């Protein structure tokens, strides 16, 4: 998949022509209890104890508190909410979670049915859910919002979720309008590896959009033949441009590849605070020359009708 040329004038002109959906405020909800990772008990405590492992090829450590925050920008409004194209798989149409599974049962049993609330065209995150179908190279569209919560919650403790490609490579979802956190853990970051180039997050209760162009890694045994690449358009703004991932971003140790199948499930993470998703669709990227029809020009006409 070649994504470098996908962001020219024609693409953005086409995007501009897509009908937009007005921003809808989400009603306030009570704060949800959350836990940090590992021995840390709360997100607030975890904020003070990042992993701190050096990131390969960078001068920063994972969740380095000295790393600059991405500059804030205001995206063009309203945020686009495009309908799915004809070759897309609709993962969530606002009605049900038939394309998703919940967590696994005890003892490695089959995945359970999702229990997340679905109403008014959105799904609200509780437990993590994963697609029944598996994907590799793909184009993914989704929209998300975080809700107004207890203002004493901050950083990773506020509106925390994630879009995890292949169950390993996480694009962070976080309340990010007026809620600073370590830069590689903010909204739009490739978690623990790269902050977004800018922060175009909308206020809590308003909808944001992600358009993800993902290239799956390729392996030859234990060897990485080709890394994963991610391009992300966040609220119509390019924030990652074919960034080569250094390895997993969702499980420790970060920035380390473990060989896996060429297609795996996509998951939406249930973590801390209230997060909602809507309008989720995905397209497999098959590359050039994959059509089945050919051009057969009509024979030239004979002068005089002969």
User: Residue 52's pLDDT band (boundaries 50, 70, 90)?
Assistant: confident
Contact 139, 285 (CB under 8 A): yes
Say what the pLDDT of residue 28 is. 31
Taking CA 85 as the corner, what is the angle to CA 121 and CA 236, rounded to the nearest 5 degrees?
A: 75
Convert the pLDDT of each residue in 148-197 to its tens digit.
666 777 788 778 899 999 999 999 999 989 888 999 999 999 999 999 99
User: Residue 262's pLDDT band (boundaries 50, 70, 90)?
Assistant: very high
Say what the pLDDT of residue 233 is. 98
Say what the pLDDT of residue 153 is. 77
Structure tokens at 243: 């960034």
pLDDT at 241 over 70: yes
Cα–chain-centroid distance for residue 73?
Answer: 19
Q: In 3D, which of 70, 57, 69 has the Cα closest to residue 239?
A: 70
User: Residue 251's pLDDT band (boundaries 50, 70, 90)?
Assistant: low
Mean pLDDT of the chain: 82
Say what the pLDDT of residue 282 is. 98
- Over range 77-105, report the average pLDDT: 92
Q: Which of 10-24, 97-111, 122-136, 165-179 has the lowest mean pLDDT?
A: 10-24
Around Cβ 226, how many Cβ atoms within 10 Å? 12
Burial label for 124, CB within 10 Å (0-12, 13-18, 19+), is middle
- Over range 217-225, report the average pLDDT: 96
pLDDT at 235 over 90: yes
User: Residue 14's pLDDT band (boundaries 50, 70, 90)?
Assistant: very low
Q: Would you call 212 helix, strand, or coil by DSSP?
A: strand
Say what the pLDDT of residue 7 is. 35
Residues 6+ apart with CB under 8 A from 67: 60, 182, 183, 184, 195
User: Residue 256's pLDDT band (boundaries 50, 70, 90)?
Assistant: confident
Helix (H) or strand (E) holding 124, with range, is strand 122-124
- Over range 46-50, report the average pLDDT: 50
Say what the pLDDT of residue 13 is. 39
Say what the pLDDT of residue 15 is. 34
Convert the pLDDT of each residue in 271-285 to its tens digit.
788 999 999 999 999
Strand partners, 214: 138, 230
Query: In 55-184, which ranges are E strands?
Result: 89-92, 100-101, 118-119, 122-124, 129-135, 138-146, 160-165, 169-173
CATH number 2.60.120.560 is the correct assignment for the domain at 80-287: yes
Q: In 3D, which of 243, 160, 183 has the Cα closest to residue 60?
A: 183
Say what the pLDDT of residue 239 is. 98
User: Residue 103's pLDDT band (boundaries 50, 70, 90)?
Assistant: low
Say what the pLDDT of residue 6 is. 38
More confident residue, 56 or 282: 282
pTM more than 0.85: no
Say what the pLDDT of residue 155 is. 82
- Over range 264-269, report the average pLDDT: 96
Domain assignments of the chain as residue spans, ordered by start: 80-287
Say what the pLDDT of residue 65 is. 86
């Amino acid at each position: 998949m070649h994504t470098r040329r996908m962001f020219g004038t024609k693409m953005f002109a086409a995007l501009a022509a897509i009908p937009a959906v007005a921003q809808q405020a989400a009603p306030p909800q009570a704060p949800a209890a959350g836990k940090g990772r590992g021995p840390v008990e709360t997100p607030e405590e975890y904020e003070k104890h990042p992993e701190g492992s050096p990131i390969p090829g960078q001068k920063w450590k994972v969740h380095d508190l000295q790393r600059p925050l991405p500059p804030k920008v205001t995206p063009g409004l309203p945020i686009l909410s495009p309908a799915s194209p004809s070759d897309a798989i609709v993962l969530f149409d606002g009605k049900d979670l038939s394309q998703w599974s919940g967590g696994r049962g005890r003892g490695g049993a089959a995945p359970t049915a999702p229990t997340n609330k679905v109403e008014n065209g959105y799904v609200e995150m509780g437990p993590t859910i994963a697609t029944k179908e598996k994907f590799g190279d793909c184009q993914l569209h989704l929209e998300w919002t975080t809700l107004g919560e207890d203002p004493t919650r901050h950083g990773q403790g506020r509106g925390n979720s994630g879009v995890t490609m292949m169950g390993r490579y996480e694009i962070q979802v976080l309340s990010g309008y007026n809620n600073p956190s370590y830069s590689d853990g903010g909204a739009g970051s490739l978690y623990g590896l790269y902050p977004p180039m800018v922060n175009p997050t909308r206020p809590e209760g308003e909808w944001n959009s992600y358009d993800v162009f993902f290239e799956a890694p390729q392996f030859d045994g234990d060897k990485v033949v080709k890394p994963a690449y991610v391009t992300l358009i966040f609220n119509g703004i390019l924030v990652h441009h074919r960034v080569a991932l250094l390895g997993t971003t969702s499980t420790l140790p970060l920035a380390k590849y473990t060989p896996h199948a060429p297609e795996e499930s996509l998951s939406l993470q249930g973590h801390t605070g209230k997060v909602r998703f809507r309008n989720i669709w995905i397209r497999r990227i098959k590359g050039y020359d994959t059509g089945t029809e050919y051009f057969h020009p009509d024979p030239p006409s004979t002068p005089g009708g002969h």
